[in-house]
Structure 1
């Protein structure tokens, strides 16, 4: 058990942080929602009612889609785009999809390489793009969830004000939807730029997200 916890500490640690933050968001979000309901003479919601409401769903989904978009773009962009000196970039001369030998596929696979990396053909082609594809699907699903939950929450407000509800296409083209979307996207893009540039000049000893403390600023793709 101790070894399993050690070997999977990163995923377990962040998984627990995710659950703790999600629970905290549920309690804080319900409190904020009920405060607005009280001011508007609306009905207070129980915790279960709130976490199954469109208001909670849209707040969660809009953050998830921006995070998956961040990783999708980073996974795809770093195939071709490089940043000399950044630990988040591969070597400048390796820009592109790289050779089979570099990627250890087909006849260049090692004994412990994944089976689909060794077999060649469509299996290797699928496996070679599986990370980007899955990230893209997760982004699309969470973006769709945001649009559906967001429309429901937005229309609830419109109906309370005796306004006609919007169709899904009408909501996706609305200012409310794009305000929710872009305010998350811009923060993700800023974070990506920050880690790429700051990792050129700053260090964190022992972190694979940083170069070794003594590595020169122009060293690229080194882990410390």
Structure 2
């Protein structure tokens, strides 16, 4: 058990932080929602009612979709785009999809390679793009959930103009929710890419070794 916890500590710790933050958001969001309802003379919601409300769902979904968009763009863009000196980037001579030898597929697959990496054909082609595909599917699912929940929450607001689902997709409320999250994700990626060129975090896989030259792109600490 101790070995399992150690070997999976990154996922377990951040999974725990996610759940703690989600619970905190739920209680804070419930209190904020009822304060606004009280100010408008509208009925308050119990904790159970708020848990399954469109207001809570849209707040959660709009954050999730931006995170998955960030990772989808990041894992696909870094195939071709580089930042010299960043450990988040490949060196310039490795831009592109890589050779079969680099990727350990085809005749270069080993016995320990994943089954679909050894299979060849369409299965290897699908597996070769599975991470980006998964992130794209999760983004589209979360964004669609935000769209539908946001539309329902908007139409439940007595002060908001009622719209159809298609109309809501082009509304300022929907795009404000989306873009305010997207811009922060894009800023975070750009900041990490450039700051990791010149700054270090000893022992982190996201950082170069402390003594590595600023121009080195593909060494980890």
Distance 1:199 1:162, change over 3 A: closer
User: 1:111 deviation in Å?
Assistant: 2.1
Measure the CA separation in 2 of the matches of 1:37 and 1:173. Answer: 26
Equivalent in the alignment of 2:170: 173
- Tell me the TM-score normalized by structure 2: 0.98
Moved more, 13-22 or 37-46: 37-46
Measure the CA separation in 2 of the matches of 1:37 and 1:150. Answer: 17
Equivalent in the alignment of 1:57: 57
1:211 paired residue among 208, 213, 221? 208
Distance 1:45 1:100, change over 3 A: same
Measure the CA separation in 2 of the matches of 1:44 and 1:138. Answer: 32
Does the 8 A contact of 2:154 with 2:160 survive in 1? Answer: no
Equivalent in the alignment of 2:198: 201
Which residues in structure 2 correspond to 1:119-198 (within 5 Å)?
119-157=119-157, 160-161=158-159, 163=161, 165-198=162-195
Equivalent in the alignment of 1:104: 104
User: 1:127 deviation in Å?
Assistant: 0.3
Moved more, 198-207 or 39-48: 39-48
Distance 1:75 1:125, change over 3 A: same
Measure the CA separation in 2 of the matches of 1:90 and 1:206. Answer: 19
Measure the CA separation in 1 of the matches of 2:160 and 2:219. Answer: 60
Equivalent in the alignment of 2:3: 3
- Tell me the TM-score normalized by structure 1: 0.97
Measure the CA separation in 1 of the matches of 2:22 and 2:47. Answer: 13
Instruction: Please tell me whether residue 79 in structure 1 is matched to residue 79 in structure 2.
Output: yes
Equivalent in the alignment of 1:94: 94
Does the 8 A contact of 2:91 with 2:218 survive in 1? Answer: yes
Distance 1:103 1:5, change over 3 A: same
Structure 2 residues without counterparts, runs of 5 or longer = none
Instruction: Tell me the SS of whatever aligns to 1:29.
Output: helix
User: 1:24-80 CA deviation, whole Å, 9 max, x = no partner?
Assistant: 000000000011111111111111111110000000000000000000000110000
